[in-house]
Structure 1
Amino acid sequence: MPVAADPTDPTDSTDPAPRTDTPPVVPRVAPLWVAMYHSVGDCSDDPYRITVSPDRLDRQLGWLHRRGLRGVGMADLLAAHARGEGKGLVGLTFDDGYADFADHALPVLQRWGFGATVFVLPGRLGGTNEWDPLGPRKPLLSANGIRRLADTEGLEIASHGLTHVDLTLADDALLGAEVGGSRALLSELTGRQVAGLCYPYGTVDQRVADAVRAAGYGYACAIDPGPLTGVFALPRVHIGENDTSWRLRLKYGLNRLRRRPVPLAAADAVPEEAR
């Protein structure tokens, strides 16, 4: 608050210089809505409920479109919000880097003019989802498949770690390899800076979030990060085959009530060349 002028001095008619010890106000954006997908294909054998049929995905993206919403990748979403241009944008993410993304998800995204982020595992190129004990075994993207997606307009390739391990249970050496090593491999593979990481199983604690920041990432996605908040603990909403229009409407509404805003200052850390 400005200090009042001295009433005894008629020449004192200006306010003094503003205080410099007041902490800066960090602008915040409304809670982000980020959809979490995995595999897109046949849902007949799906014990973990991670698969969405192409037809269901098409109807879900159509639901977004009819409401004036547009799906984009995470780097684009954060950059738009940092510029104050994020209204009407939602994040679309696909975990694990399943090969069926190129065959089934990409054509649907392109039909609606949407973008997305694909979180891949450079330590399992051309492999399968061995971490799921109940199966079924699904092929993962190869190196060439990842390169092709990286060259596709509107798509962002980001890290899911090297081999899909719970990072909160990893020792420091393994954590460094899974976080920093995967970023280096993906950057070499795609010829682009890798802006983001998605925590396998959605698990994150402060040690892991700090390691991700130190490795040079600009953001990281979780599922429900608990007490952590900010651009390195971004929550997401699971979307599955059973999510019809009324369930999407409910999830979209609840997200604005349950989630906390994200500090804008952190969003500026997303590298320009990765967008």
Structure 2
Amino acid sequence: MVHADPAGTGPVPWVAMYHSVGDCTDDPYRITVTPDRLDEQLRRLRRRGLRGVSVAELLAARARGEGRRLVGLTFDDGYADFLDHALPVLRRWECNATLFVLPGRFGGDNAWDPLGPRKPLLTADGVRRAAAAGVEIGSHGLTHVDLTRADDTTLAAETAHSRKLLAELLDAPVDGFCYPYGTLDARAVAAVRDAGYAYACAIDPGPLTGVHALPRLHVGQRDTAWRLALKYRLHRLRRRPVEGV
């Protein structure tokens, strides 16, 4: 369980956002990195004295006044290629990550993306395998819908019900949530908080930035070492401090 000090305010944590790891020749959304590119990115990270961890571990370390050399690694959507392509690279560089999955789409594909190839998603068994390997499992909602456009019933299903399903699947509490498309508003943030999540990841939440609206840094195939270093500096300069983290 993540415990944050609600009275504290600290610099924005560095949380990297990945999606699929595999063939990126047909990738109109630029959400895919090849295993070789991920390997290069994590190698450079380690050479700088940094280590990739789950968001839960990052926040727990920061709550203890530590975590200066830790970077949060997140993988959205729960693509099936995580087990075959991402996890071995993470293990090679002694890193960990948070995998945000969609319990309403286990064994399906990325049907919400109108362009590009259909990418298979992890089955329930695949999610259990990732958890057994030590990966933190969080919710990406039930079916990947924009929470800012959801009615009350859908909002409850995407937040509270998805957490319940994952907790039952893993026989463990689920602390983390990730907003589909990175879109959020005050109502969505309140629903996520009320559902019992300890934290939630966004992309660029602006004035809503906080433990339930953490900003993240998109990482793609074109991000070489120098581009990542530049992105990191800009991320720290442009993002507001985070209360309670």
TM bucket (normalised to shorter chain) is over 0.9
Where do residues 1-275 of structure 1 align in structure 2 (5 Å cutoff)?
Answer: 26-153=7-134, 155-264=135-244, 267=245
User: Once the two structures are superposed, what CA deviation does each residue of 1:180-225 show, in whole Å capped at 9, x if it has no partner?
Assistant: 1100000000111000100000001000000000000000000111
Aligned mates of 1:133, 1:30 — CA distance in 2: 37
Q: Which runs of 4+ in 1 moved over 3 A?
A: none
Q: How much does 1:229 deviate?
A: 1.4
**Which of 1 and 2 has greater Rg?**
1
Aligned mates of 2:79, 2:215 — CA distance in 1: 21
The CA RMSD over aligned residues, in Å, is: 1.2
SS at match of 1:227: helix
Aligned mates of 1:198, 1:181 — CA distance in 2: 14
Runs of 5+ consecutive residues of structure 1 not aligned to the other structure:
1-24, 268-275
SS at match of 1:90: strand
Q: How much does 1:27 deviate?
A: 2.3
Aligned mates of 2:12, 2:164 — CA distance in 1: 31
Aligned mates of 2:109, 2:195 — CA distance in 1: 26
Q: How much does 1:30 deviate?
A: 1.9
Q: How much does 1:29 deviate?
A: 2.1
Q: How much does 1:263 deviate?
A: 2.2
Aligned mates of 1:27, 1:134 — CA distance in 2: 43
User: Once the two structures are superposed, what CA deviation does each residue of 1:16-37 show, in whole Å capped at 9, x if it has no partner?
Assistant: xxxxxxxxx9222221111000
Paired letter, 1:262: V
Runs of 5+ consecutive residues of structure 2 not aligned to the other structure:
1-5
Aligned mates of 1:173, 1:107 — CA distance in 2: 39
TM-score (structure 2 length as normaliser): 0.96
Query: Is 52-61 or 250-259 further displaced after alignment?
Result: 250-259
TM-score (structure 1 length as normaliser): 0.86
Paired letter, 2:212: F
